[in-house]
Structure formats: structure tokens, C-alpha cells
Structure 1
Amino acid sequence: MSANTADLDKLIHDLGKIPAKVERKVMPIMRKTGIQTKRRLQAELGASKSFKAAARSVDYEVTTHTFGDASIIQVEVGPNAHKHSAAALAGIAYFGGSRGGGGTVPDPIVAMRQEEPVLLGFLEMAVEGLI
């Protein structure tokens, strides 16, 4: 007795393609999230009378790390000392100085959390119908 495994073979083949399909759909979403978070951080720093210059230092970077068949897409957003020397002021703007002062700009985690529902909504739409 033999069994027709053509449908099962096709399903296994299709499941193997999902990681690549997901990565292609997720990368632009992660990039857009990085841009939006960067804009929020720039606006918050730019609104500060004392730390306005640090807004020019905010940057974002999207990197992909691959482990076998799996990939991790990472977005890093924040002040970049290589982009602008005023990045050194950002720590004081966010968390305050050792002698008081500063700490007047919202913690960067707030901007990330504001983008989170948008990111999750787009990610949900990206993976819909892949299986």
C-alpha cells in the first residue's frame, strides 16, 4: 500500500519558505517603526529649551542577525555620538545630571511604547495568511 504524500510535501515546502516571506514583509515595518520613534525622540528633545541641540544626534539603525534558518530584526534608536557631538547631552536630558538639573525630557522608552501598538498591528497584518 502506498500513500500519496504530494500535498504533505507541498505543505512542508511552503512552511520552509515562511521565514523568508516574513522577513521580507517585516523589514520595512521595522524600518518605519525606527523612523517614527526617531521622529518622536527628536521632537521631544527639540521642544526642550536646554537640550534642543541633542535632537540632531538622534539616529536609528536596523540590523538583521541570522541564526541558521531564523532571523532577528533589531531596531536601535537614540542619540548617536558619531552623528553629532550634542549626543552627550541626551543622557542628562533624559535622566538628569549628578548635580541636579536635566531630566526634563521624557524617557525614550515612552516613545517606544507609543509606537508599539502600531508596530504590532502592522506585524499582525504582515503574517496574516502565510500559513
Structure 2
Amino acid sequence: MNEIHELARDLGQVPGELARNVEKVIPKTGLEMKKRMQADFRKSRHFKQVAKSVDYEVKRLGFGGDSVIQVEIGPNKNRDTSASLAGIAYFGSSKAGGGTVPDPVVPMRLEAPKFFGFMEMAAEGLL
């Protein structure tokens, strides 16, 4: 019976330790995606200036004992006013032009395999 109590105690510690490990992974992923998005803008002949507006923010949200760690990445008007051109750069406009920068989903998909590898490493050895 004592072994069951020890196992229960150990399993109870897993979420806290996993959260600490995940908190290290999320900012790294955000930074890498930011770099990819900036590189995409810099390659554009007409939208290079938007690259300096791209940033990321890590957010920690909690509700009822559950917590969520997320990262928001993209052009930020508070950082640079050129961010207002991002929609045209990504998707074009009703007039000719724009749509020359890869969709922001592309950097996310390119970064996903690394992210999942880091997440696996974050959980490794916890059970």
C-alpha cells in the first residue's frame, strides 16, 4: 500500500515539473517563429520594412487550477506602424499587388517538428 501512495505522490508532481519544462520550450519556439517570419518579410521586395514589426509574447493563462502557456507571434502595430501592411503582404488586396509573403501558417508548420521534439524532451523521465 505504501508503494501506491508513493506512486500517487510522484504522479502528482508530474504536472508541476512538466509545466516548468514546457515554460522553457514555448519562448524558444516563439523566437524561432519570429525569426522565420522576419526572414520571410525581408525576402519581399515591397514589404521588407514589416520585418521590424514582428515580435512575440508568451502568455500564461490560468483557470480553475488548469493553466495554459501560449505564444502570440506576428506583426505588432505598437512596435512599428509598418505592421498595418502585413495583411496585404500576406493575402494581397482587392487591387493588384501584395500576397507575396508566405502565409504565417508556414513558419508554424516548419517549426512544429522541433516544437514537438522539445515537448517530448520536456516530458521525458517524468513517469
Normalising TM by the smaller chain, what interval?
over 0.9
TM-score (norm 1): 0.93
CA displacement 1:27-67 (0-9 Å, x = unmatched)? 11110000000000001001111101100000101111123
- 2:112 is paired with a residue of what secondary structure? helix
- Secondary structure of the residue aligned to 2:81 is coil
Residue 57 of structure 1: aligned partner: 53
1:32 corresponds to: 28
Identify the match of residue 89 of structure 2 among 71, 89, 93.
93
Aligned match for 1:6, one of 2, 8, 14: 2
Moved over 6 A (4+): none
Per-residue Cα deviation, 1:58-87 (whole angstroms, up to 9, x for no partner): 010111112333221111100001110000
Question: Take 1:84 and 1:14, find their aligned partners in 2: how far apart are those partners?
Answer: 48
Look up the equivalent residue of 1:98 and give its one-letter code: S
Contact 1:57/1:84 (8 A) holds in 2: yes
Note the residue ranges of structure 1 that are not aligned, 5 or more in a row: none
Q: Quick one: distance in 1 between partners of 2:65 and 2:2? A: 24
- Report the Cα distance in structure 2 between the residues aligned to 1:22 and 1:68, rounded to whole angstroms: 18
Q: Which has the larger radius of gyration?
A: 1
Q: What is the rounded CA distance, in whole Å, between the counterparts of 1:41 and 1:84 in structure 2? A: 15
Q: Percent identity?
A: 51
Deviations 1:88-128 (A, max 9, x none): 01110000012121000000100000000000011111101
1:9 maps to a residue whose letter is H
Q: How does 1:1-131 map to 2 (within 5 A)?
A: 5-131=1-127
Gaps of 5+ in 2: none
The whole-number CA distance in structure 2 between the counterparts of 1:76 and 1:18 is 26
* 1:47/1:108 CA distance change after superposition, 3 Å: same
TM-score under structure 2 normalisation? 0.95
C-alpha change, 1:53 and 1:98, in structure 2 (3 Å) is same
Pairwise CA RMSD of aligned residues? Answer: 1.0
